[in-house]
Structure 1
Amino acid sequence: MTVEPLEQAVRRLVAIEDIRQLKARYFRCVDFRLWDEFADLFTEDLQVDFAESTSSPRGKQEFLASVARHFKTGYSVHHGHVPEIDVTDDSTATAIWPMYDRVESPSASGYVSHEGWGHYTETYRRCDDGQWRICRSRLTRIERHELPKQGVSS
């Protein structure tokens, strides 16, 4: 077993914590509808693969528009749990995040209310400003259940 030099270990652990905070902001921004802050969490060349999405966004602008449209009204809660984060070098990292979400949308929204769980598989890049951002995100579901239609108003 090779022992990692202390300075390298500290850099790796700081990067892991920065990425954990990045994903926490992701969940908070979606649930509180903070779209400007949400947009800053991604690289310009973002690649998205959310197979369940009805709009099938691929790039950053399509993804941001799709999320804002789907979550315009109603309520949501998104959780990420015990990620496996691998810092591959000073500017690249990957992670797998077990996740849970519940989304309640008004019937008229066209978005299906649901509850589900699965995994985000992501790649991160440290950008020129020193901040980590999501450059690839894939959501795979283990389960997703549609919720009964409700009269959610806001």
Structure 2
Amino acid sequence: MDDIEAIKQLKARYCRLLDTKDWEGYRQVLTDDVVIDTTDYGGNVVTGGDAFLEFLRVALADTVTVHQCHTPEITMTSPSSADGIWAMEDRVRFPDGTDLNGFGHYHETYEKADGTWRIKASKLTRLRMDFAKPASG
């Protein structure tokens, strides 16, 4: 498998493991020193794979999520590094029944170590976020 295909599969695992809340598997897609930036829509910068995992466990507790990533633009910057931009859509159902449907882009860097690609940095930029409250009955 070539490196670009391996990065595409990495991102597919990222989405699947996140949505299934397979936290042990999800942690393996991130470098130990990963930097995750969600400041574009009011979040924070989190540094470190373990720290980000703990943030997600709390932030996504009792939610149902569906993440889709499309149309990757991947550029190899060295034999062991790459940059990528992915169009994304996510859906989140919160415990109170509120639904979020979001659209935007992941801007990422990847690092290959010991033959395995991992996410080194990720910044999520949003173009749109639609919220729907549950219908009152």
Does TM-score exceed 0.5, indicating one fold?
yes
Q: Which of 98, 110, 116 is matched with 1:131 structurally? A: 116
Match in the other structure for 1:24:
12
User: Normalization by structure 1: what TM-score?
Assistant: 0.80
Aligned length: 134
Gaps of 5+ in 2: none
Q: What's the counterpart of residue 117 of structure 1?
A: 103
Distance 2:88 2:65 in 1: 13
Equivalent of 2:31, from 17, 22, 43?
Answer: 43
Contact 1:123 1:136 in 2 (8 A): yes
CA distance in 2, matches of 1:44, 1:75: 26
Q: Which runs of 4+ in 1 moved over 4 A?
A: none
Unaligned runs of 5+ in 1: 1-12
The CA distance in 2 between the partners of 1:102 and 1:46, in whole Å, is 24
Q: CA deviation at 1:72?
A: 2.0
The TM-score normalised by the length of structure 2 is 0.89
Name the residue aligned to 1:68: 57
Report which of the two structures shows the higher radius of gyration computed on alpha carbons. Answer: 1
Cα distance, 1:57 vs. partner? Answer: 4.4
Which has the larger displacement, 24-33 or 13-22? 13-22
> Would you say 1:104 and 2:89 are equivalent positions?
no
Please give the root-mean-square deviation of Cα atoms over the aligned residues, in Å. 2.0
